Amino acid sequence: MKSTEDEQPALTARSVVMSYGHTPALKGISLAIGKGEIVAVTGPSGSGKSSLLLCLAGVVTPDAGEVTFGDRRISAEGEGQRSRLRRTEFGVLFQFGQLVPELTAIENVALPLLLGGRRRSEAMTAALTWLDRFEVGGLASTRPSSMSGGQAGRVAVARAMVAEPKVLFADEPTGALDTLAGEQVMAQLIRVTRESGTTVLLVTHDARVSAYGDREIRIRDGQLDHHPARHLASVSGPDGDLG
């Protein structure tokens, strides 16, 4: 039997509201994401899916409502605490092409550990292990300008995973990669995060990426989009009740 701790969701949002100035982005979103779940957040452009990711990852605090990570109410924490949380417990992966161009693959991957105060030799060893897990260990000394899009993508995922986050947030993780390169990145990302039991939140407009998730959370106009079964008999037409 699972313990209570196992059953506690990794992340929850309760009635989260957020606006950019007078423009509402999230209009009261409530959801729970289980530990080790891979969830795709989808919706049309401007629907609020990236804003939801920013709130859940503690990058921004909502105007109302709360976000919790385990027992921590992160929406009530200050920037310093949230920043530490993002470095230690969360991995963030934005559209590819964000590797530091002057650094080699291994230096790019070691960067989050070095910024977190880890010794250089330890950070480089861990970085090589993660490059190997994504089958790009051979590129350790290569700079991003000499990598293919797919290779750079895998290095970026290795960098997001090197601190062994509990939750990985990925916003359009395949970016502008072609279908096959995007597929390789996604297949390896899913394999590695399933092995490590990492919770993954994938924000995407691409159904092919969404299909890697265990389930989908659909956002429309800043709200969760439910589409429950409705029978024609219960729907009133222009001429009255069709039932």
Partner 1 sequence: MSTGHVLLGLLSRGQQHGYDLKRAHDDRFPAAKPMAYGQVYASLERLHRQGFVEPVAVQRVDGPDRTVYAITATGRAELTDWIETVETPFVHVANPLATKVTVALLVTDTAYATTCLERQRASHLDAMRRYTRAKTDPSLPIHEVLAADYAIAHLDADLQWMESALQRVAALGEAIAT
Closer residue to partner 1 in complex, CB, 66/225:
225
Burial of residue 218 (CB within 10 Å: 0-12, 13-18, 19+) is middle
Q: Which residue has the tokens 């293919």?
A: 148
Which is it for strands 223-224 and 215-220: parallel, antiparallel or unpaired?
antiparallel
Q: Could you say which residues in the range 133-192 bind partner 1, by CB under 8 A? A: 183, 187, 190-191
Query: Closest separation between CB of residue 211 and partner 1, Å?
Result: 4
Tokens describing residue 156: 């970026």
Q: Name residues contacting partner 1, limited to 183-222 (CB under 8 A).
A: 183, 187, 190-191, 207-208, 210-213, 216, 218
The pair phi, psi for residue 132, each rounded to 5°, is: -65, -40
Min dist. Cβ of residue 215 to partner 1 (A): 9
- Whether 156 and 99 have beta carbons less than 8 Å apart is answered as yes
Residue with smaller CB distance to partner 1, 46 or 116:
46
Closest residue by Cα to residue 69 from 80, 81, 58: 58
Interior angle at CA 139, CA 135 and CA 142, nearest 5:
155
* Residue 227 Cα distances to 54, 80, 219, 230, angstroms: 25, 39, 11, 8
* Residues between 8 and 27 with contacts to partner 1, criterion CB under 8 A: none
Q: Which of 229, 233, 240, 241 binds partner 1 (CB under 8 A)?
A: 229
Q: Pick out residues in 22-51 that bind partner 1 (CB under 8 A).
A: 44
By CB under 8 A, residue 63 contacts partner 1: no
* From candidates 22, 117, 121, 232, binder to partner 1 by CB under 8 A: 232
Residue closer to partner 1 by CB (options 60, 136) is: 136
Helix (H, G, I), strand (E, B) or coil at 76: helix
d(CA 99, CA 107): 10
1 is an interface residue for partner 1 by CB under 8 A: no
Cβ distance to partner 1 smaller for residue 199 or 210: 210
Q: How far is the CB of 37 from partner 1 (least distance, A)?
A: 14
CA distance 216 to 51: 16
> Site for partner 1 (CB under 8 A): how many residues?
23
For tokens 């029978």, the residue is 231
Cβ proximity to partner 1, 73 vs 208, nearer residue: 208
Residues that bind partner 1 (CB under 8 A): 44, 183, 187, 190-191, 207-208, 210-213, 216, 218, 225, 227-230, 232, 235-237, 242
